[in-house]
Amino acid sequence: MKENIKHLGNLLLQNSKEIAMTVHNRRLEGESLETLAEISRVEGDILHLRAHFISLFGKSLLNHPDSEKSRSLFSEWGISTGANLSSEGVPLDEALKDVSFYRTAIWEVLKIEMKVKDFSLDEAFEVKDIIDPLLDYALYNFSLSYVDSYANTLNNSRKAFLELSVPVVPITENIAILPLIGDLDTERAQLLMDETLVKTSEMGISNLIIDISGVIIIDTMVANELFKLMDALRLLGIETIFSGVRPEIAQTMVSLGLDIKNLVTRASLRQALAHLENENVM
Mean pLDDT of the chain: 86
DSSP string, 151-201: HHHHHHHHHHHHHHT---EE-SSSEEEEEEEE---HHHHHHHHHHHHHHHH
Provide the whole-model pTM. Answer: 0.60
- pLDDT, tens digit (0-9, with 9 covering 90-100), for 163-214: 555 688 888 889 999 888 777 777 777 778 888 898 899 999 999 999 988 8
Residue 16: pLDDT band (50, 70, 90) is very high
- pLDDT, tens digit (0-9, with 9 covering 90-100), for 83-94: 988 888 888 887
More confident residue, 144 or 182: 144
- The closest alpha carbon to 65, from 112, 134, 140, 139, belongs to 134
Residue 129: CB atoms within 10 A of its CB come to 11
- pLDDT, tens digit (0-9, with 9 covering 90-100), for 34-67: 878 877 888 888 899 999 999 999 999 998 877 8
Kindly provide the b/e burial profile for residues 228-253, where b requires at least 16 CB atoms within 10 angstroms of the residue's own CB: ebbebbeeeebbbbbbbbeeebeebb
Four-residue CA torsion sign, 59, 65, 68, 71: positive
Domains and CATH numbers, the chain: 2-160 (1.10.490), 169-278 (3.30.750.24)
Which of 102-111, 158-167, 208-217 has the lowest average pLDDT?
158-167
